[in-house]
Every structure is written in C-alpha cells, then in structure tokens.
C-alpha cells in the first residue's frame, strides 16, 4: 500500500486545478477545448507519489497559469490599442 499523500500538497494541486479551470473559461479556443486538455494533463500525473515530483508538477501548473494570464493581458492590451490608437 502506497504511503498517504501529504494533505498540503493535495490542497495545492486542487487549488491550482480550480484556478486553471476558472482561467480556462475565457480561453481563446473555448472552454470546451481547454477543459479536456487540462483534465488529461492532471490525470497523466495522478499516479505520482513522490512529493518532489508532485512539487515539480505544481510548479509547472503555476507556470502555465502565469502564461495564460499573460495571454489574457496581451489580448486586452491589443484590443485597447486597436480601439484608441488610430494608426494600429
């Protein structure tokens, strides 16, 4: 029987998953495209038992979250620039 997973790590994984689901609602290719891929990515790592590997997965998810946020900021910037800049 595998050792129990650290509850703090479990909480972190669930929290980042929920954050990514929330961010995915506005994803340019649509939530129906985003959610299955997010779910598949998390399920691919569901078998991990080593705390260090779980921490690396959390770090990667944080990186993805930051990239998605940057995508949204860039999209908003481009929209505002088109709206207010006559030359764009």
Burial zone of 29 (CB within 10 Å; 0-12 exposed, 13-18 middle, 19+ buried): exposed
Q: What is the reported pLDDT for 62?
A: 97
| pLDDT tens string 69-85 | 999 999 889 888 888 88
| pLDDT tens string 11-40 | 999 999 999 999 999 888 999 999 999 999
Which tokens belong to 57? 């997965």
Residue 79 contacts by C-beta under 8 Å, 6 or more apart in sequence? Answer: none
Give CA–CA dist 46/29, Å, rounded: 26
**The pLDDT of residue 88 is above 80:** no
pTM of the model: 0.82
Q: If we measure between CA atoms, which residue out of 66, 68, 56 comes closest to residue 13?
A: 56
Residue 6 contacts by C-beta under 8 Å, 6 or more apart in sequence? Answer: 51, 54
CB atoms within 10 A of CB 39: 12
């Amino acid at each position: 029987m595998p050792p129990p997973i650290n509850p703090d790590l479990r909480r972190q994984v669930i929290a980042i998953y929920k954050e990514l689901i929330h961010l995915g609602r506005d994803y340019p290719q649509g939530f129906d495209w985003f959610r299955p891929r997010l779910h598949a990515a998390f399920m691919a790592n569901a078998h991990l038992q080593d705390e260090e590997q779980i921490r690396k997965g959390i770090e990667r998810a944080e990186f993805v979250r930051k990239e998605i946020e940057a995508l949204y900021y860039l999209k908003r910037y481009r929209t505002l620039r088109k709206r207010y800049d006559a030359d764009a």
